[in-house]
Structure 1
């Protein structure tokens, strides 16, 4: 009887560990909101190519579709929250561009909001990224319409540690975009509220 109880405890522990592992795997990778780890993004690396991955999630947060293609040419930076990647127009989810016309860029320089966004994003998208992953809850966008998404980039390699650049967070932190609100005043991006508060405290906006 004692041996049987021990066996049941071992089985229970194994099931618990498997459940935790599955949860961690989803949180690290196939999650509609969480920032993916560099290791998750590295699975899409193709030597000598810049890859664009688009993941679509349903209302329950389940990954239902993934496309992957090589990016030919430059990524278009059409302002703080607009990107054109492989012919697809992307809008950073829940964000509004340019809460102020001027921003304090590189901590000391006064730039126009749009110019600062283009300078920063072009350097990351077109200069450093090997993988661009955008996540959307829009399952079937009509042809030619903008896709609301959160975008993440893998940078590093060739002696530099791999890391994830969170485009949404970067635009908010640098004071180049503001979190949108619903009609009843709720935040559209509660996950970025801390970055927005930090940006305001550091005086990146209203540089005039």
Structure 2
């Protein structure tokens, strides 16, 4: 079954033709290797009664070169604050490291172990509320058995509730469950999330001891 699933995933990958028609223009608005896609972009993948997992691959110039879309019938495994297993793909949230402190303030007043809080939050988003899961990576050919560094976004809503996008990377940093990695010369690996990290620290979500 695992071999068949992998074969189907390979077949599912297709080169994306960014033709200049109206449909391509609409889709291109969300095709950014770093930016958070609007709910309207994610809604194009919604299927009635099914959850969709979308994996987009971008080249070094930021061009979308491949996309796979599949129905997700099994639960997402939350392996830690920055690790996800989705449809057989191991995902590591791009540029983040897990648990800057052992304990965090969760649900505003409760002290939780960092890993337990991450699982509680992510389980709710991915396995109870998600309609579409989109992960975006710059890795075109992943090494075998290695996690893919990616940014993941989850469409929640529907059934009378407005659709909105949950930015998993931002959520983990804001809740104090992950911190931004640094290069060897001290540069931020996620400058787009620095504001969320500063706000998290100012609100005291970390260092719950």
TM-score tier after normalising by the smaller chain length? 0.7 to 0.9
- The 3-state SS of whatever aligns with 1:130 is strand
| Counterpart for residue 127 of structure 2 | 126
Note the aligned Cα RMSD (angstroms): 1.7
Q: Structure 1 residues 143, 121: CA separation in 2 closer, same or farther (over 3 Å shift)?
A: same
Match of 1:198 in 2: 199
How far 1:144 moved relative to its partner?
A: 2.5
Aligned to 2:61: 60
Q: Which residue of 1 aligns with 2:145?
A: 144
Distance 2:81 2:28 in 1: 27
Specify every segment of 5 or more residues in structure 2 that has no aligned partner in the other structure, as ranges: 1-21
Q: Distance in 2 between matches of 1:142 and 1:207?
A: 37
Q: 135-144 or 184-193, which moves further after superposition?
A: 135-144
Q: How many residues align?
A: 188
For normalisation by structure 2, the TM-score amounts to 0.87
- Give the 3-state SS of the residue equivalent to 1:186 in structure 2: coil
What is the aligned partner in structure 1 of residue 45 from structure 2?
44
Distance 2:29 2:178 in 1: 26
Separation (CA, whole Å) in 2 of partners of 1:194 and 1:46: 35
- SS in structure 1 at match of 2:116: helix
Deviation at 1:143, TM superposition (A): 2.9
What residue number does 1:112 align with? 113
Contiguous gaps of at least 5 residues in structure 1: 1-20
- Does the CA contact (< 8 Å) of 1:27 and 1:34 recur in 2? no
TM-score by length of 1: 0.87
CA deviations 1:119-146 (Å, max 9, x no partner) are: 0000000000010000000011023221
Post-superposition offset of 1:60: 0.2
How far, CA to CA, are the matches of 2:46 and 2:109 in structure 1? Answer: 36
Q: Segments of 4+ in structure 1 off by > 4 A? A: 24-27
State the distance in 1 between where 2:26 and 2:34 align: 14
SS at match of 2:184: coil
Q: Is the 8 A contact 2:27 2:41 kept in 1?
A: no
Q: Distance in 1 between matches of 2:74 and 2:97?
A: 27
Return the index of the structure with the highest Cα Rg: 1
